[in-house]
Amino acid sequence: MSGSESILVDEAKIFVQAGDGGNGATSFRREKFVPRGGPDGGDAGRGGDVWVRADAKVRTLVDFLRRSHFRAERGGHGAGANKTGARGAEAEILVPPGTMVYDANSGVELADLVHPGDACLVARSGRGGRGNAHFATAVRQAPRFAERGDPGERRWLRLELKLLADVGIIGMPNAGKSTLLSRISEARPKIADYPFTTLAPNLGAARAPQGKVFIAADLPGLVQGASGGRGRGHDFLRHIERTRLVVHMVDLAAEGRDPLDDFRVINEELKAYPADLTRLPQVVAANKIDLPEAAAKLELFAGALANQGVEVFPISALTGQGVPELIRRCARLVEELTPAEEKVEPRIIIPAPEGEALNVEKMREGVFSVTGTAVERLIARTDLDSEEAVASIQGALERIGVVERLRALGAAEGDKVLIGEQEFDFVD
């Protein structure tokens, strides 16, 4: 068994960074016969956004084991003659349909990309800085400063894949699930005579005798305590959530085990899972009836489940005995449970931006802290090497209420004010 085969690649953690906005230009007209040319510094371009998009050609999250950092392009800088910088190119990350996207730090769900084409904006680009032509007024006719671009958003994401299958094949380890999938489809999962042969879900297209086709998933063996995470239980159970039908395989020939007890244990784990997976229709495949010890248990097992209203199909996944009847029944149920065909338009999901809260507090005597998206963005786009630019933000801080709140907290001339990573002297 190679190392790559033992990795269940249905979860991934990636870092995304949108493009920063370009910097605005500081420039003045320099033309013959125009001795007092005014400011003509152009605005910069916005950076590129980062999107996560579902693509039917992508089946797993395995590519993110090799690459986990994604960055969009920075916006172009402004230039003289009022030339605007180009917008940065977007970055697009392709994932399988059925991928859920979470903010890795907060755990907030950003999107559930169910259908091909569904997309989610996961990192917003930074706005381009304005050039000095933007700041010319009747009083300030020759501004010698421009804005810097805003930084693009950056964050860690957690991707979680829930397989989109019509039928989920479940059961205890080594119950014959992979053997059944290989018999009813072209899938060729690894099969061996030891527990937990299946380390990752396998998909296959099964064709019933009457020509109906459905997608079946062989899900790794469950154990008691799976709903609480034992044996990587949650990794496996979540793949059952989106199936329409469950085929519960029970090994009638398992040495030292009671098939009725195995059936009960698995269903208890399905019920204990947060989504209560017992709500899904279920048929039972009583496997290995080609063996004498299994045939001897069949009547008692099937009779007990018939009293509970559960359908039992005696099969041998190895020889094919009883499998056509099972597949015909699955195809009929899938057809009954499938909603009417309709055209599904791809969804574009744009989560709400973070709040613009403004927090002003006194840290200690003579030192105050100002935090908040809007004010920190204002400081980030200001050229702090330009005295003229620094002076210009005083009015902006007045408008958004920073100066008033500093006064209310007792700030006096010369006190220190921390905004983001920068330190200023309070001037009233």
Separation between Cα atoms, residue 147 and residue 394, nearest integer Å = 15
Crossing angle between the packed helical segments 177-184 and 323-337, to the nearest 10 degrees: 80
Domains, in order of start, for the chain: 1-161 (2.70.210.12), 167-337 (3.40.50.300), 359-425 (3.30.300.350)
- The stretch 294-298 carries a mean pLDDT of 91
For the ranges 268-277, 322-331, 412-421, the lowest mean pLDDT is seen at 268-277
Cross-sheet strand order for the sheet of 167-171: 202-207, 213-218, 167-171, 245-251, 282-287, 312-314
pLDDT of residue 4: 34
Vertex 309: Cα angle to 305 and 310 (nearest 5): 55
| Mean pLDDT on 110-132 | 92
Asked if 282 and 245 touch (Cβ cutoff 8 Å), the reply is yes
88 DSSP 8-state letter: P
Output the CA torsion 354→355→356→357 (10° steps).
-130
The pair of structure tokens assigned to 365 is 């005597």
Is a pLDDT exceeding 60 seen at residue 270?
A: yes
Given a cut of 70, is residue 74 above it in pLDDT? yes
| Tokens 């920190």, residue located | 376
Least confident residue range of 71-80, 85-94, 135-144, 416-425:
135-144
Question: Residue 287 is inside which H or E element, if any?
Answer: strand 282-287
| Burial label, 5 (beta-carbon count in 10 A; 0-12, 13-18, 19+) | exposed
Task: Give residues with Cβ within 8 angstroms of 347, minimum separation 6.
Answer: 115, 117, 118, 119
Lowest mean pLDDT among 97-106, 164-173, 191-200, 277-286: 191-200
> 349 or 31, which is more confident?
349
How confident is the model over 147-164, as pLDDT tens digits?
Answer: 889 899 999 999 998 877
State how far the alpha carbon of 195 is from the alpha carbons of 95, 183, 222, 228, 231, in Å: 31, 20, 10, 20, 11
pLDDT class of 145 with cuts at 50, 70, 90: confident
Between CA 398 and CA 389 the distance in angstroms is 15
pLDDT band at 344 (very low <50, low <70, confident <90, very high): low
Between 207 and 312, residue with greater pLDDT: 312
β-strand partners of 207: 213
- Asked if 67 contacts 95 with a C-beta cutoff of 8 angstroms, the reply is no
Q: How many CA atoms lie within 13 A of 215 on its CB side?
A: 12
pLDDT at 193: 46
Higher pLDDT, 8 or 64: 64
Predicted confidence band of residue 342 (pLDDT cuts 50, 70, 90)? low
- CA-to-CA dists, residue 4 to 1, 13, 413, angstroms: 8, 17, 64
Q: What is the mean pLDDT of residues 392-414?
A: 84
Highest mean pLDDT among 18-32, 94-108, 343-357: 94-108
Q: Cα separations (Å) of 106 from 61, 102, 157?
A: 21, 8, 10
Residue 229 has pLDDT above 90, yes or no: no
Q: What is the pTM of this model?
A: 0.66
For residue 3, the model assigns a pLDDT of 35
Residue 3 CB partners (closer than 8 Å, separation 6+): none
| Residues 169-217 pLDDT 10s | 988 888 888 889 888 876 555 444 444 444 456 777 787 777 678 888 8
The reported pLDDT for the residue numbered 68 is 95
Contact 239, 162 (CB under 8 A): yes
| Secondary structure of residue 38 in the 3-state scheme | coil
Provide the terminal-to-terminal Cα distance of the chain, rounded to the nearest Å.
72
pLDDT of residue 393: 78
Q: What percent of the chain has pLDDT over 70?
A: 86
Residue 137 has pLDDT above 50, yes or no: yes
CA distance 209 to 25: 71
- Quick check: 219 pLDDT over 90? no
Q: Mean pLDDT over all residues of the chain?
A: 83
pLDDT above 80: residue 166: yes
